[in-house]
Amino acid sequence: MNDLIDTRRFEEIKAAGELPSPKGIALSIARMSQRGDASLAELARLVQGDPALVGRLVRAANGSLASGARPVVALRDALAVLGMAAVRNLALGFSLISSSGEGLCRSFPYARFWTGSVIRAIAMQKILMRLRTAGVEESFSVGLLAGIGALGLASVFPAQYSRVLDEARGDPVALLDLERQAFAMSHVELSAAMLADWGMPRFFVAAVLRHEGALTLPAEDGSREYGLTLALGLARAIETACMADDAGRSEAVDAAKALAARMEWVPEQVSALCEDVAADWKDWSAMLPVDAYALPNLSMSAEPETLAPPQPPAAFPSAANDAPAGDGLRVLVVDDDAATRLTLQTLLVRGGYRVATAEDGVRGMECALEFQPHIMVVDWVMPQMNGLELARTLRQTRMGRSIYIIVLTSHEEDARLVEAFESGVDDYMVKPLRPRVLEARLRAAQRLVRMQRELETEREEIRRYAAELGVSNRRLQEVSMTDALTGFPNRRYAMERIAQEWAIAQRSNRSLSCMLIDVDHFRQINETYGRDVADQVLEQTARAIRACMRTQDVVCRTGGDEFLIICPDTDLQQALACAQRVGAGVAAVPVQAGRLRLKSSISVGVAERLPAMPDADALLTLADQALLAAKKAGRNCVRTAG
233-281 pLDDT tens trace: 999 999 988 888 777 788 888 888 888 888 878 777 778 888 888 888 8
Query: By C-alpha distance, which of 559, 625, 557, 547 is closest to 587?
Result: 547
Query: Which residues belong to the active site?
Result: 561
Q: Which residues pair with 596 in a beta bridge?
A: 593
Give the mean model confidence (pLDDT) for residues 60-74: 69
219: number of Cβ within 10 Å: 7
DSSP code string of 186-252: -HHHHHHHHHHHTT--HHHHHHHHHGGGGGGSPP-SS-HHHHHHHHHHHHHHHHHHHHS-HHHHHHH
Burial 72-93 (b: 16+ CB within 10 A, else e): beebeebbebbebbbbbbbbbb
Strands 591-593 and 596-598: antiparallel
pLDDT at 308: 38
The DSSP letter of residue 549 is: S
466-490 per-position pLDDT tens digit? 767 766 776 677 677 888 888 888 9
More confident: 318 or 475: 475
Which of 50-59, 148-157, 323-332 holds the top average pLDDT?
148-157
pLDDT at 311: 38
Out of 89-98, 211-220, 241-250, pick the least confident.
89-98
Strands 330-334 and 375-379: parallel
pTM score over 0.75: no
* Mean pLDDT, the chain, whole residue set: 81
Give the mean model confidence (pLDDT) for residues 624-630: 94
First-last CA distance in the chain: 36
HEC-encoded secondary structure of 132-149: CCCCHHHHHHHHHHCCHH
Contact 314, 307 (CB under 8 A): no
Sheet with 554-559: list strands edge to edge.
554-559, 562-568, 512-519, 602-608, 638-640
Residue 395: Cβ-neighbour burial (10 angstroms; 0-12, 13-18, 19+): middle
**Above 50 in pLDDT, residue 309?**
no
Query: By C-alpha distance, which of 513, 544, 538, 516 is closest to 608?
Result: 513
CATH topology of domain 1-18+103-311: Hypothetical protein af1432 (1.10.3210)
Q: What is the dihedral of CA 43, 290, 215, 546, to 10 degrees?
A: -90
pLDDT at 518: 94
Strands 404-409 and 596-598: unpaired
Strands 638-640 and 602-608: parallel
pLDDT at 45: 75
The pLDDT > 70 percentage for the chain reads 87
Give the mean model confidence (pLDDT) for residues 296-309: 49
Burial 563-589 (b: 16+ CB within 10 A, else e): bbbbbbebebeebbebbeebbebbeee
Start-end of H helices in 288-360:
338-350
What is the rounded CA–CA span in Å between residue 175 and residue 153? 12
Contact 556, 564 (CB under 8 A): yes
Q: What angle do CA 397, 47, 114 make, to 5 degrees?
A: 70
**Above 80 in pLDDT, residue 580?**
yes
Q: Which residues pair with 409 in a beta bridge?
A: 430
More confident: 97 or 120: 120
Q: Which residues pair with 376 in a beta bridge?
A: 332, 405
Query: By C-alpha distance, which of 186, 207, 50 is closest to 138?
Result: 207
pLDDT at 635: 92
More confident: 80 or 637: 637
pLDDT at 547: 85
Residue type, 218: P
pLDDT at 517: 94
The DSSP letter of residue 359 is: S
**Above 60 in pLDDT, residue 623?**
yes
C-alpha dist (Å) from residue 582 to 28, 495, 515, 522, 551: 56, 22, 11, 18, 14
Residue 319: pLDDT band (50, 70, 90) is very low
What is the rounded CA–CA span in Å between residue 20 and residue 416? 37
CATH number for the domain whose boundaries are 330-453: 3.40.50.2300
**Above 90 in pLDDT, residue 628?**
yes
Give the mean model confidence (pLDDT) for residues 571-588: 92
pLDDT at 346: 83
What is the rounded CA–CA span in Å between residue 134 and residue 139? 9
Out of 405-419, 514-528, 598-612, pick the least confident.
405-419
The DSSP letter of residue 154 is: H
418-471 per-position pLDDT tens digit? 888 888 888 888 887 788 888 888 888 888 888 887 787 777 777 677 767 766
**Above 90 in pLDDT, residue 395?**
no
CATH class of 491-640: alpha beta
pLDDT at 299: 60
The DSSP letter of residue 400 is: G
Give the mean model confidence (pLDDT) for residues 201-215: 87
Q: Which residues contact 512 (CB under 8 A, 6 or more apart)?
A: 501, 502, 505, 566, 567, 568, 569, 570, 608, 609, 619
What is the rounded CA–CA span in Å between residue 167 and residue 164? 5
The DSSP letter of residue 171 is: -
pLDDT at 305: 38
Give the mean model confidence (pLDDT) for residues 506-515: 89
Contact 390, 354 (CB under 8 A): no
Sheet with 427-430: list strands edge to edge.
354-358, 330-334, 375-379, 404-409, 427-430
Peptide bond into 312 cis (omega under 30): no
Q: Which residues contact 570 (CB under 8 A, 6 or more apart)?
A: 511, 512, 513, 553, 578
pLDDT at 33: 65
The DSSP letter of residue 384 is: S
What is the rounded CA–CA span in Å between residue 547 and residue 244? 35
pLDDT at 636: 92
pLDDT at 332: 92
Give the mean model confidence (pLDDT) for residues 117-145: 82
15-55 per-position pLDDT tens digit? 776 777 766 676 677 666 666 666 767 777 777 767 767 77
Q: Phi/psi zone of residue 369: left (φ > 0), alpha (ψ -120 to 50 degrees), beta?
A: alpha
The pLDDT > 90 percentage for the chain reads 19
**Above 70 in pLDDT, residue 153?**
yes
CA neighbours closer than 13 Å in the CB half-sphere of residue 200: 28
Residue 134: pLDDT band (50, 70, 90) is low
Out of 12-26, 293-307, 517-531, pick the least confident.
293-307
What is the rounded CA–CA span in Å between residue 426 and residue 582? 72
What is the rounded CA–CA span in Å between residue 324 and residue 349? 8
Domain ranges of the chain: 1-18+103-311, 21-99, 330-453, 491-640
pLDDT at 323: 35
Contact 215, 252 (CB under 8 A): no
**Above 90 in pLDDT, residue 59?**
no
